[in-house]
Amino acid sequence: MKKLDNYGYMFIVPFFIVFITFTIYPILLTFYYSFTNYNGMGDPEFIGLANYSRLLTDSYFYSAFYNTMYIWGINFFFQLSIALLLAILFSDIRLKMRGLNFFRAVFYLPNLITIASVALLFGILLGWHHGTINHLLMDLGIISSPINWLNDPTTARWSVGLIGAWMWFGHTFIILMAGISGISKDYFEAALIDGANRWQTLVKITLPLLKPIMLYVLITSLIGGLQIFDLPMLITDGTGAPQGSLNTMVLYLYNQAFRYDNYGYAAAVAYGLFIITVIFSVITFKSMYRSNVKEG
Amino acid sequence: MKKNNIVKGILYAVLVLLVIISFIPFYMMIVNATRTNSEILQQGFTLIPGTALMQNYDTLIQYMNLWRGFANSLFVAVSVTLLSSYFSALTAFGFAVYKFKGKNFLFILMLVLMMVPGQLGLIGFFDLVRVMGLLDTYIPLIIPPIAAPFVVFFLRQYLMTVMHPSLLEAARIDGAGEIKIFHKIGLPIMMPAVATMAIFTFIGSWNNYILPLVVLFSPEKYTLPVMMGALRGSQVAENLGSMYLGIAISVVPIMVAFLFLSKYIISSISAGAVKE
């Protein structure tokens, strides 16, 4: 038996060779570079914590953090609200809404499309004088003159946030529906028999039982949201304009490394982003756990 | 009952509105891809297609061979999906079936690093690839996905619930080697879970933007997303009809594929979330 178990190594060796080479080593190498002034050429020179102290006082990094959270906040609020309303609607046993498969598929569609294509598409749909969205809104009489959506910090952030919500609400809806279908039908039927109204069923049964899956949605969306890159990169040609309002953390990292060749500093930005991600994940877990305990 | 019907009517109307919101950007894309630049600029919004499709296509293809990007993306995504599926199944089988020293440590190490965002090692990855002389090749896009911790985790959980040790014992008594047992028993048992993960892997690779952007330099090697980025800065951008057509070429095949695969994709997402 002992000899047979050594086959285990053989099965996992290819994975770990690749994993160590292309995942673990680059992470460690990035960590090392974050203490150097590496610029892509010559030998990196060790400069201690200089990159990190620069990071702590870098107003561009703080604004990148702010922009990232701003965009993610809009995205997540609309994404979750719409998905939750849809999930509640389709799980209501009294309403018996039809067409779940059709609606799920259509709502999910935007999520499947390459973000690069989505960015390009909205980049021109949202154009100033010749954008289709302005044309439509003017035809409908909602606005009287074209709005330069992507040239004002507020409308630019809202645009990117809402594009994100548009891309993700269908995905979140599917996940919430999966969570609801995991809740036994007995609960809902018992509530119906006991004469619970819709609101009571929602607050007492559906939402508490959906909590773990909403935590999953929150954390995956947050980790993904902190890394938002494709949309702002392609909408602004990498500049993060207008007035740096679309300069997100990963876009900043990308520009520091591949536009300005500040690999050392970019490595510190990567670790800053990592620490922020860890802090947020821990806070989310803790607060969800604590509110669970309180109720229990 | 009557009141209920009115409520339902309103709810369906809201749902249809959401359907329109989900779909209209794509519809506008298709309509505008058939209109000339001046029609789009001067006549504004319309739901009726024009007649300039071929003209737009000629302009587009003159500057950028999107089909090349399409073929490149397909090559990368298919390779990634095959390699990642096979090696993840292999690794999951190793973790699920055998008891060896250090197994728990390695498994936990894998799970911890699964949580780390991909951008953390980007700088080091780029430098490693540069030193290896692999910049501007597909190798840094195709080989690293062999180590896909989440897929291994998912497949291992699946194996633990569906595979019976007696199955393996029976095969061993029949004289089958361990590798053969994996191919004849392990892999077929895992197939439904492998297919689920393969869909995600394919979509993830197909949509990946930052990695090919960093690694590839030659325009003829660009994957579709990188080519879309290049499209924006090219002369095609001066002709909106051609721009829309370029985007449509990148989008429509995915929509057609989704038409046939939507059921599987949606059940994969559901399974992936609930398994967590």
Give domain status of residue B58, yes or no. no
- Is the Cβ of B98 closer than 8 Å to some Cβ of chain A? yes
Exposed/middle/buried for B23, CB within 10 Å: 0-12, 13-18, 19+? Answer: middle
What confidence tier does B1 reach under pLDDT thresholds 50, 70, 90? low
Q: Which residues of B touch A113 (CB under 8 A)?
A: 26, 251, 254-255
Q: Does residue B144 carry a pLDDT above 50?
A: yes
**Residue A231, Cβ neighbours under 10 Å: how many?**
26
* B124 touching A (Cβ < 8 Å): yes
The distance between the two most distant Cα atoms of chain B, rounded to a whole number of Å, is 78
pLDDT of residue B266: 87
Domain that includes residue B229, residue range: 65-233
B274 assigned to some structural domain: no
pLDDT at B273: 67
Per-domain residue ranges of chain A: 59-126+157-295
Q: Is the full-model pTM beyond 0.80?
A: yes
pLDDT of A228-251, one tens digit each?
Answer: 999 999 999 889 889 999 999 999
B158/chain A closest Cα distance in angstroms: 17
Residue at B78 is within a domain: yes
B187: Cβ–Cβ under 8 A, 6 or more apart, which residues?
B89, B93, B194
d(CA B218, CA A116): 18
Cβ neighbours of B113 in A, within 8 Å: 19, 23-24, 27
Predicted confidence at residue B42, as pLDDT, reads: 83
B66-94: per-residue pLDDT in tens?
Answer: 999 999 999 999 999 999 999 999 999 99
Q: Which two tokens stand for residue B243?
A: 């721009």
Which residues 68-97 of A have a C-beta within 8 angstroms of B? 82, 86, 89, 94-95, 97
Bridge partners of A46, per DSSP, are: A36
pLDDT recorded at residue B275: 54
B129: in domain: yes
The segments of chain A whose pLDDT lies below 70 read: 1-2, 290-296
Return the pLDDT at A45: 92
Who among B91, B110, B119 is closest to A270 (CB)?
A: B119
Give the amino acid at B228. Answer: M
| Model confidence pLDDT, tens digit, residues B225-275 | 999 999 888 888 889 999 999 999 989 988 888 888 888 888 888 876 665
Task: Provide the domain count of chain B.
Answer: 1
pLDDT digit string (tens) for B149-199?
A: 999 999 999 998 888 888 888 888 988 889 999 999 999 999 989 998 898
Q: Does B83 touch chain A (CB under 8 A)?
A: no
* Domain-located, residue B225: yes
Residue B183 domain flag: yes
Per-residue pLDDT, A128? 87
- Picking from B12, B26, B123, B274 by the largest number of A CB atoms within 10 A of its own CB, the best residue to mutate is B123
Instruction: Tell me which CATH code domain A59-126+157-295 carries.
Output: 1.10.3720.10
What CATH number is attached to the domain comprising B108?
1.10.3720.10
Nearest to B122 among A16, A166, A270 (CB): A270
ipTM: 0.90
Side-chain half-sphere CA neighbours of B224 within 13 A: 27
